[in-house]
Amino acid sequence: MDSTKLSLAVAFALFVLLSSADATAKSLCCIDRVFTFGDSMTDAGNACQVQGGNCGVIPYGETYFHKPNGRWCDGRLIVDFIAQAYGLPLPPPSMAGNTREYFLNGANFAYAGSMALNISTYKKVTGLDRAGPDHSLGIQLQSFKDLLPVISQGSSVTAVMTNSLFIVGEIGGVDYIGGLVSNKPTEEMKSWTPSVVAAIGSAVNDLINLGATTLIVPGNFAIGCAPWFLTLLKSNNSGDYDSQTGCLKKLNELAVYHNTMLTQELAKQRLLHPLANIVYADYYGAQTQLILTSKSRDIPAPLYACCGAPGQPYNFSLNMQCGSKGSQVCPDPTKYISWDGNHLTEAANNVIANGILYGPYAIPPLV
């Protein structure tokens, strides 16, 4: 199935989800805390605190924080803009605090490199080994559960859960990245999708059973548009590229396939929990629209990284990544979508967040 047909399938799934949505979605004024889970697209500093990395060196953080602060970005993330829209401070990294005061407005449990599947399940599903500590979605959720008695001090678990916004993702992209760097065919990786989506659905179900009433569940980004994979999986066949975006079609078809199954899973969760407001965030749609409208936004090279290897295709090289010796940063990150070849710029995050908060990329709408 080509990406156009898959996109139509996503649109239909979104229509079904919207048709079944409860019309009483909370307005942006009614949230006291924001809790987030995910990978490096959401991580506010947990991985950087534990294991370090380029996220802890200049130019990371330069646009908004004027110094590195643990985010894999030049500034704020999508979840940061969402929190600010609710009048709340940026969700701090969960591993940096352990008091009620620290979690007063929520926290960010995301960890760079995290998968939806835990390491043992990933091995069973994919046949691939995964090194390193396990910070997968279920582990992040358990960390939240362990901290819930601290978070709810002076209040109640019910009050915390019902007055909080939970952003579950983006998560699942790393599950497929392991296959891509191992040269697995995308058709084979599609067989992993039911397990990946089930892990996300399980986390949503667990949060609702704990008392959560408002959740945002993002889909995967357009991974075929990332400079990293455009470089790694470069093809001499022009037919492998989308004629409108220049992105790798098979990778984006994989993302759309995942997102289609995720919207179907969320529709099931809504039937199980009719009183919960479960919002699908279409990161893929918002990102690809940003690429398609890049000229009108004064973004001359929408598939190039702002920070990376000068003179290399897409301004990216695994041997000279952003923040490493010899890398260079662009003079104006607002004219780029990709920050470092894998993560987005603050400017792109802002556009996508606005599309979720106020535009057509949240189903059902948040406001």
C-alpha distance from residue 127 to each of 117, 119, 197 (Å): 13, 11, 18
Residue 1: partners with Cβ closer than 8 Å, 6 or more residues away: 9, 253
> CB–CB of 284/38 below 8 Å?
no
Q: Which one from 3, 7, 40, 94 is the annotated catalytic residue?
A: 40
**One-letter amino acid for residue 100 of the chain:** R
CA distance between the termini of the chain: 34
Cα angle 352, 115, 193 (rounded to 5 degrees) comes to: 85
How far apart CA 236 and CA 3 sit, in angstroms, is: 20
Sign, Cα dihedral of 348, 353, 355, 361 = positive
Indicate the DSSP class of residue 214.
E
CB atoms within 10 A of CB 105: 20
Q: Is 280 helix (H, G, I), strand (E, B) or coil?
A: strand
Q: How far apart are CA 154 and CA 335, in angstroms?
A: 46
Active-site entry in 135, 258, 273, 343: 343
226 token code pair: 């990332």
Does residue 340 carry a catalytic annotation? yes
Residue 343 annotated to the active site: yes
Residues 6 or more apart whose Cβ sits within 8 Å of residue 309: 315, 316, 317, 319, 320, 321, 326, 327, 328
Catalytic amino acids?
A: 40, 340, 343
